A = this chain, B = another copy of it.
Amino acid sequence: MMKKTLPDDKSFHMTPEQFRDQGHAVVDWIADYYKSIESYPVLSRVKPGAIRASLPDHPPVNGEAFETILKDVEKVILPGITHWQSPNFFAFFPSNTSGISILGDLLSSGLGVQGMLWATSPACTELETHVLDWLVSMLDLPDKFLSTKSGGGVIQDTASSATLCALLAARERATNFDSNRRGGDGKLVAYTSSQAHSSIEKNVQIAGIGRENLRLIRVDTNFAMDPAALAAQIQQDRAAGFMPFFVCSTVGTTSSNAIDPLAQIGPICREHNLWLHVDAAMSGTAALCPEFRHIHNGLEYADSYCFNPHKWMFTNFDCDCFYVADRKALIRTLSVLPEYLRNQATESGAVFDYRDWQIPLGRRFRSLKLWLVIRHYGIEGLQYHIRQHVELAQQFAHWVQRDDRFELAAPAPLNLVCFRHKAGDEVNQRLMDGLNRSGDLYLTHTRLNDRMTLRFCVGQTNTQRRHVEQAWKRIQEEAANLMV
């Protein structure tokens, strides 16, 4: 026997009983936070460096009491929080959540499993495959995305990462699965609209395609991709010796919620054998309701698709659902199998190993929260709240139209309203800054037709009619004050 140098009976870990007590305290803290959430300014008011300045320079040598730590969350952290879960949060796109999702994520943290391989926790893989198949029917997506057909779904952290995976699989398919081996050649060309998410440009850079090989196709008056311009650009690139290979279409752009016409873009992609990826990060959730499914018209042409339950479907970050029509192309692109991950289940070919469907190796049990959300709300509950959000946004758009000082800046097909004060950029900037500084609500901006435009997005879990009414009242007040 070797000499024991450390005492065995010492432990700094929480016992299960301590975890029980302190866990209850944290649950209570969160419940109280949601009860009082409207009392905080939505946008944090701290100055750069203020939070750091309130933290000790050096880490503690000795452990501290749980009560001390929890008090500091309240005292030190909370002033530096922008309250994304406030019902008065109308900025960006939402990143909403729900009680059931928080508890699903807590279970996942508690189980602490890695789902990189089927074998490392079969339930983590199989529940994910199953729930993503459920969502194909819930959103009425094309059957080819089902795991029981040629495709399948996987949970990614974000739409950015999903789009990167799609881009890589497209790159490999276009080069007869040779680009992984030899790297980029400067000939591959990708397409998206000038209104698409910044992650497309970032991904094209990451994947070694090169930013100058990304074509930003012009948009129509509704800020949706112009299919004729896409077709013309593809022809021009082919004629110049380039190899067009990938189109990223958006269902609900971040800027204005524009919906690219998939039914016209799809046939162009088919004709030229381009991979069509559809990014419906926020708006995809609307397809839970049959009356909004028109946003997916033409989706049958897509090779891949993603939407984020962590934006609008009451499921906390991170949870992006990514589907491919041909899972073999994706797996062949992303699979690298070292000896230390070999196992019988993988060799048998009877299972999915989700590490082959994503960039990183490790993965959390994210389907648990998604499963719990779907079971808690049921299809009926999810539909009700999505409809409510769309109705509130439509009402807001109606108020904007009735006020002579304001105008809509783009169509508002769902839950995002882009609008502006008619008095120009400076007034809109001051209006936004004043409202955000007040703490009463938080909204952000974009530029459309080179004009400052305010964005009002209804998607926070706890946003009710009174919050939207109050927000509009505050916008009107602030506008009146500006003009005095």
Give 14 pairs: A residue, B residue, CB < 8 Å, sorted on A: A12-B377, A13-B461, A14-B99, A19-B31, A23-B24, A30-B110, A52-B129, A55-B127, A80-B122, A92-B114, A105-B106, A198-B337, A199-B360, A317-B362
**Measured between C-beta atoms, what is the minimum distance from A126 to chain B in Å?**
4
B59 with A318: CB separation less than 8 A: no
Q: Which residue of B lies closest to A444 (CB)?
A: B340
- Which A residues between 422 and 474 are near B, CB-CB below 8 angstroms? 444-447, 455, 461-462, 464-465
Once the chains are docked, how many angstroms separate the CA of A54 from the CA of B51? 49
Bound CA–CA A406/B118 (angstroms): 31
* Contact status B106-A2, CB under 8 Å: no
Please give the distance in Å from A483's CB to the nearest CB on chain B.
23
Asked whether A12 and B384 contact (CB < 8 A) given A106-B106, A113-B81, A340-B254, the answer is yes
Residue from B46, B63, B97 in contact with A378 in the complex, judged by beta carbons closer than 8 Å: B63
> With A186-B182, A211-B181, A461-B13 given, is the CB distance from A336 to B201 under 8 Å?
yes
A69 to nearest B CB, angstroms? 5
Classify the interface of chain A: helix, strand, loop or mixed: helix
Knowing A206-B168, A211-B180, the reply to whether A381 touches B63 (Cβ < 8 A) is: yes
Report the minimum CB–CB distance from A161 to chain B (whole Å): 5
A181 and B12 in contact, given A82-B121, A97-B112, A112-B97 (Cβ under 8 angstroms): no
A29 to B85, CA, bound (A): 26
- Chain B nearest CB from A330 CB (Å) reads 13
CB contacts (< 8 Å) of A84 on chain B: these are 111-114, 120-121
Q: Given contacts A123-B80, A183-B186, A208-B207, are A359 and B362 in contact (CB under 8 A)?
A: no
State the Cβ distance, A273 to closest chain B Cβ, in Å: 20
Q: Is A294 an interface residue (CB 8 A)?
A: no
Contact B19 A99 (CB under 8 A): yes
Roughly how many angstroms separate A158 CA and B156 CA in the complex, as a whole number? Answer: 13
Partner of A361, one of B1, B18, B63, B198: B198
Q: What is the CB-to-nearest-CB distance from A325 to chain B, in angstroms, rounded to a whole number?
A: 21
Are A81 and B360 neighbours in the complex by a CB distance under 8 Å?
Answer: no
**Which of chain B's residues have a CB closer than 8 A to the CB of A221?**
none
Question: CB-defined interface of A119-163 with B at 8 Å, one 1/0 digit per residue?
Answer: 111111011011000110110000000000000000001101100
Query: For residue A13, which residues in chain B have a CB less than 8 angstroms away from its CB?
Result: 98-99, 314, 385, 461-462
Residues of B within 8 A of A271 (CB): none
> In the complex, A445→B341 CA distance in Å?
8
| Nearest chain B residue, comparing its CB with the CB of A43 | B119
Do B51 and A122 touch (CB < 8 A)?
yes
Contact with B along A6-45 (1 / 0, CB 8 A): 1010111110111110111011111111110000000110
**Is the CB–CB distance between A350 and B59 below 8 Å?**
no
A-B pairs, top 10 by smallest CB distance, nearest first, are A208-B208, A183-B210, A80-B123, A184-B184, A14-B99, A12-B381, A23-B27, A30-B110, A184-B208, A51-B126
Q: Judge if A205 is at the interface, Cβ distance under 8 Å.
A: yes
- Given A34-B16, A455-B340, A102-B109 contact (CB < 8 Å): yes
List CB contacts (< 8 Å) of A337-393 with chain B.
337-342, 345, 348, 350-351, 359-362, 364, 368, 372, 374-382, 384-385, 387-388, 391
Does the CB pair B22–A158 fall under 8 Å? no
A376→B69 contact, CB < 8 A: yes
